[in-house]
Amino acid sequence: MTRKAAEPSRRQPGPRRDKEPLHCIAACGREVDIGTCVIRWDQPGSLVCPNPRGRSACTRHDPRLNDAPTLPFSRYRIHNPDQAYEELKKTVHQFVLHYDVCWTSRHCHQLLADSPFKGSHFYLDLDGTVYQTCDLYWKTNTAPADDGLGNERAVHVEMANLSWQARAEESGLHLLQTDAYRKTDAGWLLNLPAGRRQELRLQSFQPLAARAYGDRGYFSRKINGRTVRMWDFTEAQYAALIRLCRGVHELLPRVRLQVPWDPEQRRTPLDRLPGFSRFEGILGHAHVQGGNKNKGIKRKYDPGSAFDWGRLRRALSR
């Protein structure tokens, strides 16, 4: 990975060279090379945010873009990127991790595109490919959090993982007849339907769970009152996520390279955090959203019981 100066560089105008690696994430026209494959909204093969919105604390855009309905993507223009970047750096202090309950990132994108308001800045596919769907200046409606303001202060990544839908017994959404994972000599392998495999950038990729729990393979822990049983994310997803976290921090320094930590239990708690809105760093959807009936906000559990918080924490502290 190429380390850059503390201040992210401005993109040089002009066409890209054919062989230039596509490794950069962007905010207000600034780019940071994260050293792993990124397909951005303005590049071939991209996935474009279906429903961007303006953040209410940022002022370098038409304020009508803060509200529904969604307008054509070309209408989401940043008027003064330098000033916009200063506002964005003050505003955003959380990078929220999600599982997408989908087979692949393209599958997730289809579902979000069917919604009149949902989206996510990033998708992280099984093969480690990162998709950035819009400039981080924009808001995406991915996690309202219990105070309804979660999207204003955050950027989000939806990571491909079926969560409990991978277990036939719990597959109320995808209605699987057999578990989606099977044990092989190499580990627990996700059986991708042929049509879904074609959606991967690396079509020969073997989607193995990075870790397994005992003989059964899947992890099981209680999160916000629900027992979540799921297989792990892939090794490629962890490797790319660590780079993505560093890149988001480099662009938006208030997103500190830290995850929630309970010093007494000596581990990352899984439930909604007290003071969740003030946390500055990288955290899960479940950490900000235990559910708020008065506001009609649902209880959330992602990135789930299998997510390796210890690995992320150790990687980011190095």
Smallest gap from Cβ 225 to Zn ion, in A, equals 16
For Zn ion, give the closer residue by CB, 152 or 250: 152
Longest dimension (CA), the chain: 56
Closest distance to Zn ion from the beta carbon of 12 (Å): 36
Side chain identity at residue 19, one-letter code:
K
Segment contacting Zn ion (CB under 5 A): 24-32, 81-89, 263-271, 280-288?
A: 280-288
CB of 83 to Zn ion, least distance (A): 31
Smallest gap from residue 230 Cβ to Zn ion (A): 13
CA distance 221 to 50: 33
Number of residues near Zn ion (by CB under 5 A)? 3
CB 194 to Zn ion: min, Å: 28
- The tokens for 142 are 């991915």
Query: Smallest distance, Å, CB 280 to Zn ion?
Result: 20
Side-chain-side CA neighbours of residue 166 (13 Å): 31
Residue 243 or 285 having the CB closest to Zn ion: 285
285, 287, 288, 290: which one binds Zn ion (CB under 5 A): 285
b/e burial code for range 259-281 (CB count within 10 A of at least 16 → b): bbeeeeeeebbbebbeebeebeb
Which residue lies nearer to Zn ion by CB, 61 or 285?
285
Residue with Cβ nearer Zn ion (98 or 121): 98
Interface positions, 286-315, toward Zn ion (CB under 5 A): 302
The residue among 98 and 167 lying less far from Zn ion, judged by its C-beta, is 98
Hey, which residues does 154 pair with through a beta bridge?
94
Nearer CB in complex with Zn ion: 37/151 = 151
Say which amino acid occupies 82: D
Q: How far is the CB of 98 from Zn ion (least distance, A)?
A: 3
**What residues numbered 48-77 form the site for Zn ion, per CB under 5 A?**
none
Dig out the tokens for 262 from the structure.
Answer: 């309970």
Part of the chain binding Zn ion (CB under 5 A), chosen from 68-76, 171-179, 197-205, 284-292: 284-292
What's the token pair of residue 216?
């059964």
Q: Mark residues 90-129: x for contact with Zn ion by CB under 5 A, - for none.
A: --------x-------------------------------
Question: Which one, 27 or 288, has the nearer CB to Zn ion?
Answer: 288
The strand ranges marked E within the chain are 9-10, 24-27, 30-33, 38-40, 94-99, 122-124, 130-132, 154-159, 181-184, 187-190, 219-223, 226-230, 281-284
Burial 143-180 (b: 16+ CB within 10 A, else e): bbbbeeebbbbbbbbbbbbbbbbbbeebbeeeebeebb
Question: What is the contact surface with Zn ion in residues (CB under 5 A)?
Answer: 98, 285, 302
